[in-house]
Amino acid sequence: MPPTMAAAPAIRELPEPPGLPEPLPEPAVDDLRLETVLSALSEPLRLRIVRKLLLERESFDHPCGWFGLDRPKSSLTHHFKALREAGIIRQRQYGLERRSHVRVADLDARFPGLLALVTAWTPDAR
């Protein structure tokens, strides 16, 4: 996809169509901290979430229930929030549901190679 120059921000994950809901509050690219990102990714469940988002990102945004995680809703909120506040995912509100995607360009810019490690990860095999 050629980068159709969107309005405001410098780098975007994808050429995003206009009229999207505003992203929920998140750290700016320059504020991403390696410790924080690593800490967020050191939780197996969150690693699963991010990996799944990376592997199946063609459908762009994903609501929270799409992941098939058998945890209560309040636990999921907790983890998605942790990922967003670490700067790993961006979340937007679409009516009822809140959809997430990985901030690929931002993370690649700040921590090149990191997402490849996540993609290559396998849940508990060696």
Partner DNA sequence: GTACTAGTTCGACTTTTGTCGTACCGTCGG
Partner DNA sequence: CCGACGGTACGACAAAAGTCGAACTAGTAC
Write out the residues near DNA by the rule CB under 7 A: 39, 43, 45-46, 63-65, 71-82, 91, 95-99
Neighbours of 89 (CB within 10 A): 26
- 107: which residues sit within 8 A by CB, 6+ positions away? 32, 37, 87, 88, 114, 115
Looking at 32-40, 55-63, 66-74, 87-95, which segment touches a copy of itself (CB under 8 A)? 32-40
Please select the residue that binds a copy of itself; options are 11, 14, 34, 55, rule is CB under 8 A.
34
Question: To which H or E segment does residue 100 belong?
Answer: strand 97-102
Question: Cβ of residue 103: shortest distance to DNA, in angstroms?
Answer: 17
Residue 34 contact partner, candidates a copy of itself, DNA, none, CB within 5 to 8 A by sort of partner: a copy of itself
Looking at 7-15, 54-62, 65-73, 110-118, which segment touches a copy of itself (CB under 8 A)? 110-118
Question: Cβ of residue 41: shortest distance to DNA, in angstroms?
Answer: 10
Number of H helices, E strands in the chain: 5, 2
Cβ 54 vs Cβ 118: under 8 Å? yes
Question: To which H or E segment does residue 109 belong?
Answer: helix 104-110
Burial class (CB in 10 A: 0-12, 13-18, 19+), 121: middle
Looking at 9-17, 18-26, 52-60, 112-120, which segment touches a copy of itself (CB under 8 A)? 112-120
- The residues of the shown chain that bind a copy of itself, judged by CB under 8 A, are 30-31, 34-36, 38-39, 41-44, 47, 111-114, 116-118, 121, 126
